[in-house]
Amino acid sequence: MTSPTTQPGNGREASELADWRAQARVFLQPIAAPSILGLFGFASATFMVSAHLTHWYGSAISGRYVFPFAMTFGGLAQLLAGMWAYRARDAVATAAHGTWGAFWLGFGILQLLGATGAIVIPAAKFPEFGYWFLTLAVITAACATAAAGENLGIFSVLAVLAVGAACAAVFYLTGTSGWSYVAGYVLMASSFLATYVATALMLASAWGRVVLPLGELRREANVPGRVPIHPIQFAYGEPGVKQGQ
Integer CA distances (angstroms), 172 to 9, 51, 66, 130, 177, in order: 56, 16, 19, 5, 9
pLDDT at 105 (0 to 100): 95
179 occurs within a structural domain: yes
25 occurs within a structural domain: no
Amino acid in the structure at residue 202: M
What's the CA gap between 72 and 75, in Å, rounded?
A: 5
Residues in the chain: 245
pLDDT at 21 (0 to 100): 63
Domain that holds residue 169: 34-233
| Mean pLDDT of the residues in the chain | 82
- Closest to 162 measured CA to CA, from 146, 194, 179, 139: 139
29 occurs within a structural domain: no
In the 8-state DSSP scheme, what is residue 73? I
192 occurs within a structural domain: yes
99 occurs within a structural domain: yes
How many domains are there within the chain?
A: 1
The pTM of this model reads: 0.79
Count the helices and strands in the chain (H runs, E runs): 8, 2
Q: Are 4 and 17 a contacting pair, CB within 8 Å?
A: yes
- Closest to 147 measured CA to CA, from 230, 237, 39: 39
pLDDT at 139 (0 to 100): 97
12 occurs within a structural domain: no
15 occurs within a structural domain: no
pLDDT at 224 (0 to 100): 61
What count of other Cβ atoms lies within 10 Å of the Cβ of residue 132?
Answer: 18
pLDDT < 50: residue spans in the chain? 1-8, 230-232, 234, 236-240
- Packing angle, helices 152-174 and 91-115, rounded to 10: 30
User: What are residue 233's DSSP bridge partners?
Assistant: 240
202 occurs within a structural domain: yes
Amino acid in the structure at residue 232: I
pLDDT at 86 (0 to 100): 86
